[in-house]
A and B are shown apart, each in its own frame.
Chain A
Amino acid sequence: MNDRNIEFESLLMALSRSGSPLREYPVQEDAVGALELIGSFLDGAFVVMVLKPETGNDPLRMFAGSGLSPGLASALESDAVQRSIAAQLDLRETVRLQEVSAASLGASMDPDPFSAMDIGTIYIIPLWNGGEVFGGLICAFRGSLSEVPAEDLRRAQCLGELVGYRRVQAERIDRLSEAVEAAEAGLWALELGSMTYWATDTAKQMHGFAADQLVNLNMVLSRVHPDDRGLIEEANLSAARAPGTELRLEYRVVQPDGNVRWMLARGRSDTGPGNPARVTGIVTDITDRRAAENELRDARALTDAVFDSVPGLIYLYTQDGRLVRWNRQHEVVSGYTAAELDQFPARKWFGEDEISRMTSEWRRVFEQGRASAELLLKKKDGTLVPYLFTGVRVEVDGHPHMVGIGIDITEQKLAESSVAALRNELSHVTRVTALGELASALAHELSQPLAAILSNAQAARRLLGTGRTDLAEVEEALTDIARDGKRAGEIVHGLRAMMAKGEAKRRKLDINALVQSVLALLNSEIIAAKVTPVVHLGAGLPKVDAGQTEMQHVLLNLIVNAIDAQRDIPEADRMLHIDTFVDTGFVNVAVRDAGSGIRGEDLTKVFEPFYTTKTSGLGMGLSICRRMVDTYDGRIWAENNKERGATFRIALPAVRSGTT
């Protein structure tokens, strides 16, 4: 190994250390010093380094050691000279130019700066990295010169590549630093050979150092949570073994004040020309993000737990009816797997006859914000289960969605139907009881036509038995029999209807006809009670949509109550006024008596179950009446008259004309 080589080796080592872009002093000065060293290595040549622009047609960047004349510097900076240097670099080979002048490089200058400095020969050495020429060294020699040994040129090239690459790196890191600082992140680099550590101010501060403090890897590691130090060392090791390794590690930093903060370091190992492996990366403080993520994860875990523990269904659908989120119960109930439920179309849950109702409620969710509906859910095995579904419009990722729950209402439906059955039973018992109390009056009412029929029949037989039959009289008797038979039939029919068992059927009812039928049934009772009814039936009343049996029962109750209320007052004072009329869309019936009226606080209580002022009966009459009227969206109430007695009123919604 010759002296020259030793000189080169020592120079390379010096430059490796001093020329590191990770050092704290300005890289500009660093490069200048390095070029001077190369110049002296080449026996006093002026060495100028040019670096190609990163992009486009920007001028070459030029670095020169001291001693370069201003004239030569400006000549080298001129466009023409730059163009010709760039052209030489594009040859990708070391070029030797002799008898060089400004003119020979395309620029005309007087006096010629080259000859002014007695420069006769220049070498233009391309600088390589990764198969690309990124710049060059221009080595200018005074006077006439014999050829520089190729060995030295290669060594100069090597040193230039080291300095140039570092310079490029430094510039790159500078630019990166700015961007990274702007993002409130820190930038760091670690040379794995020398374990030289460099970090931006922000990165230093993140680890609890002052911005102007010099830090090394050990100082940084001392701030890392003991449990995480091994992680970092291991990552560095694997990066050193395999250049190009991507690093990503999260670690804790214990700051001087004891605060623990989470950091995310991301980086990549690589190598430069003649350089040991280096890791460069970004560090960001992710304490807040981690906290937020944790919070989010916890919240998500909580919602998932809640979702899955809810016995009902929970679902999230897109507006076009695709299931995007659901709870575990949804799978259990429906029998579909999670994979099947993903994007499951909402319509598929329902049978044909439910679809139109479901779609109208669906629309309501998105138009009005919320809706609910009782629908039959079709399971995978085809069985139908009654569910109450709710839906609320929500925005998810900026798109309208529907979130809601589904509750199995099988039990409720069963309970409802059994309650309904009980109510029907009670209603039936009450009606039969009410009629039972009227038994004698009803028997009387029925015996009238029967008495007439029997009399007429027997008279007719007698008339036929005599020798001189008066056929006209017989015919008249038969006509009367037919009429009274019909009348008896109507009474029986009315009674049977009143005693009918089972669910009430809605029908379009003529309230006036109903009042008359009840009055007919109560005729004997009214006569026996010595009350004279005064009936005013409104003309052309709209019909009402209600159950005939129930409404008859309600009217019967009110009329019987009115009669009962007047048993103890003088006959002359008794009154039974029945009026029907229409008022603001409601068909009204008013039953007015002249009894003792109702005490103020009892005006509403009379409609409560088991409340009674009578000595007989259960006190269910009016409470059942109210329930019946409620069923048909009507109202029933009581008020005291100005004079004396009370008026009970029913108002039932009138069926709009045209729908009858």
Chain B
Amino acid sequence: MTKNRVYVVDDDPSVRKGLARLLRSGGYEVEAFESAAAFLQRDDYAGPACILLDLCMPALNGRELHMQLRDAGSTLPIIFLSGHAELGDGVRAMKDGAVDFLVKPVDEEVLLSAIRTALARHGEALAEARETRAIECNVGSLTERELETARWVIAGLRNKQIAAELGIAEKTVKIHRARVMQKMGATSLPGLVRLLERVGIRPMIPKP
């Protein structure tokens, strides 16, 4: 199993070193960077991770890095660390999706709790992403007719009505339906609705 990883981005070497030491002692894998630019050069990592990001840094600062990551669709949770409590900065950071906004010096309980939250969130995000990918994979295994049938099914039509819509026999609709349920791993109609909804497959809309 991959370890939980924390990226520490701070221009101050003392702070960087201290935070890294604390987080390692807390059982986390730590990777520290002296600047946003260095962070952007990091190796890929598949496991749950989060960023402990200094707000005030030369060149690209914490906020700018946050925006850049968000624009690139990153799901890495960010915990901001700031030298002083500036309400405006905190509110903006939280609005932009930061997990937390902490003020130095930060107590280990507060820090570790934020880290836990962030990692958990990332873990969930990762799991969700994995599930979605599995559903997508199942959807991909459906034939065109099966997908069409599925979309009518989640629109709430009965087999007879679907057969009329598709211009095929009711019996054939039954077979398609059973295959869909089987391939998607669904045991009930609501289950199917939920799965397809997650991957963005919309119900067919009957003609009036």
Is A92 close to B, CB under 8 A?
no
B18 pairs with A443, CB closer than 8 A: no
B58 pairs with A452, CB closer than 8 A: no
Of the stretches A273-281, A398-406, A420-428, A522-530, the one at the interface is A522-530
Residues of B within 8 A of A480 (CB): 14, 17-18, 21
B105 pairs with A453, CB closer than 8 A: yes
The distance from the CB of B28 to the nearest CB of chain A, in whole angstroms, is: 11
Of the stretches A224-232, A245-253, A457-465, the one at the interface is A457-465
Residues of B within 8 A of A450 (CB): 104-105
Is B124 close to A, CB under 8 A?
no
Is A653 close to B, CB under 8 A?
no
The distance from the CB of B84 to the nearest CB of chain A, in whole angstroms, is: 4
A447 pairs with B105, CB closer than 8 A: yes
A530 pairs with B58, CB closer than 8 A: yes
B57 pairs with A527, CB closer than 8 A: yes
B104 pairs with A451, CB closer than 8 A: yes
Contact mask B94-110 → A, CB, 8 Å, 1/0?
00000000011111100
Residues of A within 8 A of B9 (CB): none
B108 pairs with A458, CB closer than 8 A: yes
Is B22 close to A, CB under 8 A?
yes
Q: Which B114-159 residues sit within 8 Å CB-CB of chain A?
A: none
A447 pairs with B26, CB closer than 8 A: no
Known interface pairs A459-B21, A459-B22. Does A452 touch B14 (Cβ–Cβ under 8 Å)? yes
Is A455 close to B, CB under 8 A?
yes
Residues of B within 8 A of A477 (CB): 18, 21
A: contact size bracket = 20 to 34
Residues of B within 8 A of A454 (CB): 18, 105-108
Is A440 close to B, CB under 8 A?
yes
Is B163 close to A, CB under 8 A?
no
Is B2 close to A, CB under 8 A?
no
Residues of A within 8 A of B107 (CB): 454, 458
The docked-state distance in angstroms from the alpha carbon of A320 to that of B83 is: 73
The docked-state distance in angstroms from the alpha carbon of A527 to that of B84 is: 14
Residues of A within 8 A of B83 (CB): 440, 443-448, 451, 524
The docked-state distance in angstroms from the alpha carbon of A480 to that of B20 is: 13
Is A484 close to B, CB under 8 A?
yes
The distance from the CB of B153 to the nearest CB of chain A, in whole angstroms, is: 55
Residue of B nearest to A448 (CB): B12
Contact mask B52-93 → A, CB, 8 Å, 1/0?
000011110100000000000000000001111010000000
Residues of B within 8 Å of A, CB-based: how many?
Answer: 28
B14 pairs with A462, CB closer than 8 A: no
Residue of B nearest to A526 (CB): B58
B18 pairs with A484, CB closer than 8 A: yes
Is A378 close to B, CB under 8 A?
no
The distance from the CB of B193 to the nearest CB of chain A, in whole angstroms, is: 48
Is A532 close to B, CB under 8 A?
yes
The distance from the CB of B1 to the nearest CB of chain A, in whole angstroms, is: 21
A527 pairs with B22, CB closer than 8 A: no
Residues of A within 8 A of B104 (CB): 444, 447-448, 450-451
Known interface pairs A448-B15, A450-B104, A527-B57. Does A462 touch B84 (Cβ–Cβ under 8 Å)? no
Known interface pairs A480-B14, A484-B18. Does A459 touch B58 (Cβ–Cβ under 8 Å)? no
Residues of A within 8 A of B17 (CB): 452, 456, 480
B84 pairs with A440, CB closer than 8 A: yes
The docked-state distance in angstroms from the alpha carbon of A530 to that of B60 is: 9
B56 pairs with A473, CB closer than 8 A: no
Is A487 close to B, CB under 8 A?
yes
B18 pairs with A455, CB closer than 8 A: yes
Q: Which B3-26 residues sit within 8 Å CB-CB of chain A?
A: 11-12, 14-15, 17-19, 21-22, 24-26
B26 pairs with A527, CB closer than 8 A: no
Contact mask A453-493 → B, CB, 8 Å, 1/0?
11110111011001000000100110010011001000000
Is A160 close to B, CB under 8 A?
no
The docked-state distance in angstroms from the alpha carbon of A473 to that of B12 is: 20
The docked-state distance in angstroms from the alpha carbon of A88 to that of B107 is: 147
The distance from the CB of A525 to the nearest CB of chain B, in whole angstroms, is: 10
Residues of A within 8 A of B84 (CB): 440, 443-444, 447
Residues of A within 8 A of B86 (CB): 440
Residue of A nearest to B25 (CB): A462
Residue of B nearest to A523 (CB): B12
Q: What are 12 A-B interface contacts by the 8 Å CB criterion?
A: A440-B86, A444-B84, A445-B83, A451-B15, A455-B18, A459-B21, A460-B25, A480-B14, A484-B18, A524-B56, A530-B58, A530-B61
Q: Which 10 A-B pairs have the closest CB atoms?
A: A444-B83, A455-B18, A451-B104, A452-B18, A452-B14, A462-B25, A459-B22, A454-B105, A458-B108, A447-B104
Beyond A447-B83, A530-B59: 20 further Cβ-contacts under 8 Å? Answer: A444-B56, A444-B82, A444-B104, A446-B83, A447-B105, A451-B81, A451-B106, A452-B15, A452-B105, A454-B105, A455-B19, A455-B105, A459-B21, A459-B24, A466-B25, A476-B21, A477-B18, A524-B56, A524-B83, A527-B11
